[in-house]
Structure 1
């Protein structure tokens, strides 16, 4: 459906990953070997927490319906700002129209969210899911995507207090509604979520055949593996990235996030937890 990346670490010009990497996000928008669609040209989004921002700061967003490879503003912006945590997303529209309000990432206060995948049978489920969203949040939904509805459903279920529990509850609500309507596999996707400090990356689908998801190996480890790789010099020791597919061909540079897993990234590094595993 789409391709995305999320970066956390020392402040970095986003163009390093979005534009300049060997298999950058923009390169993936033109040719995505691991994606369900090869081309992801139905708009894009870029969201970032500005360098020096404090806890609870609101991220900035830039959305466009242009193909990412065609947008000069994206090049200007990602080469001009620096950010310690940013999201990038290129879209292959699966039904909802191509418009800025349908471009990821989505934002609520200091939270950002993006999704690669879909809620199968969303048209049949939409009324029930929207009615489960807190009344105070409903006016904030500006687009028509299943992803934005899912985000606000998770917010309604306590995302700001316990992100993993709320995402779990939102997935279960989608599955309950979908299966009540005869939809066998309602949930599909990889999802990124951040409050500006921690980054959560989820890989889950009802059928347990989710879209691809990887994260980088720790930079100090990579430097030991590739002491002559000058491309690593731009990154600080805390730099880490989660991606739909690897950004380069260096063997061992990226590890796959397992099915039914949430990867949690912060200044302490990485760790993985089971997320709605099949035996839960």
Structure 2
């Protein structure tokens, strides 16, 4: 499957998380410890919101860079990560579960101001794909570019109201996938960790039908980390609003990482972060 990370907080260069940590996302592309596969070399992507709005009206639509080669050897990614500074970004390294290795199948996926990425799979996706795709709202359907279950999940969530109620839309998406799978006699339909952002808030979901979900962690509060590690220069530079969500920890700093509970989602936003129970809603 895949590995991903999401960052929200003080603006930093992308390389600070993609390359510099001991077990950075680039290191995980070759040496994942908690994934189904050790190597995640079927493409990669990064989506970031600008440090300053690009448009005169204050728009903050994200930029996306995706490629089909392995992340560890891509010189363009290294150059970009060294130059791009962002307060909120999502990055993903892909291990295909059967769909083609092509740019349009690399995460994160973008629709307007929204970014979405996924680790996991819809079980027996070819058998369910037609029924799932027919549920996507007609105005949204032309925007689907690739062939993955991950992108189709994104457009189902948009259909079910993602732009107004993110948790509710993802719960309805998950419930719909499970209902379609049940009609086709497919067990354990859904396995997912999902990261999604609108540019100001960040949500992370951990769920599977069998209640044995892929790993997902969130960083401890910066205030607590400073108390644990008063000599860390990195911790002194970032604000107390800073949070990182990862498929697996970026290093072995004691006290830095907490597992997202099974069948839960977290919300990172200015002022107050929270964790909630995730319950799929059947149609």
TM norm structure 1: 0.97
How far 1:220 moved relative to its partner?
1.6
- The residue aligned with 2:5 is 5
Secondary structure of 2:82 counterpart: helix
How far 1:236 moved relative to its partner?
2.6
| Residue 85 (structure 1) aligned with residue 64 (structure 2) | no
Which ranges of structure 2 fall in alignment gaps of 5 or more residues?
none
Alpha-carbon separation, structure 2, partners of 1:82 and 1:75: 13
CA contact (8 A) 2:117 2:194 kept: yes
Alpha-carbon separation, structure 2, partners of 1:79 and 1:148: 28
- The residue aligned with 1:103 is 106
| Deviation string, structure 1 residues 99-148 (Cα, Å, up to 9, x no partner) | 00000000000000000000001111100110000001111000000000
| Deviation string, structure 1 residues 181-214 (Cα, Å, up to 9, x no partner) | 0111111010001000110000000000010000
CA gap of 1:229–1:147, structure 2 versus 1, over 3 A, is same
| Deviation string, structure 1 residues 82-102 (Cα, Å, up to 9, x no partner) | 111000000001100100000
Alpha-carbon separation, structure 1, partners of 2:66 and 2:158: 22
Secondary structure of 1:104 counterpart: coil
Alignment of structure 1 residues 155-174 onto 2, 5 Å: 155-174=158-177
Alpha-carbon separation, structure 2, partners of 1:56 and 1:242: 25
CA gap of 1:127–1:29, structure 2 versus 1, over 3 A, is same
Alpha-carbon separation, structure 2, partners of 1:234 and 1:43: 32
How far 1:179 moved relative to its partner?
1.0
- The residue aligned with 2:140 is 137
Secondary structure of 1:11 counterpart: strand
- The residue aligned with 1:205 is 208
How far 1:234 moved relative to its partner?
4.0
Alpha-carbon separation, structure 2, partners of 1:49 and 1:227: 30
| Residue of structure 1 aligned with 2:262, choices 248, 256, 259 | 259
Secondary structure of 1:92 counterpart: coil
How far 1:229 moved relative to its partner?
2.2
| Residue 21 (structure 1) aligned with residue 24 (structure 2) | no
- The residue aligned with 1:219 is 222
How far 1:153 moved relative to its partner?
0.5
TM norm structure 2: 0.96
CA gap of 1:202–1:56, structure 2 versus 1, over 3 A, is farther
Alpha-carbon separation, structure 1, partners of 2:187 and 2:279: 17
| Deviation string, structure 1 residues 149-186 (Cα, Å, up to 9, x no partner) | 01001100110011110000000000000011011111
- The residue aligned with 1:228 is 231
Say how many residue pairs are matched.
278
Which ranges of structure 1 fall in alignment gaps of 5 or more residues?
none
CA contact (8 A) 1:55 1:197 kept: no
CA contact (8 A) 1:55 1:196 kept: no
Alignment of structure 1 residues 44-193 onto 2, 5 Å: 44-53=44-53, 56-193=59-196
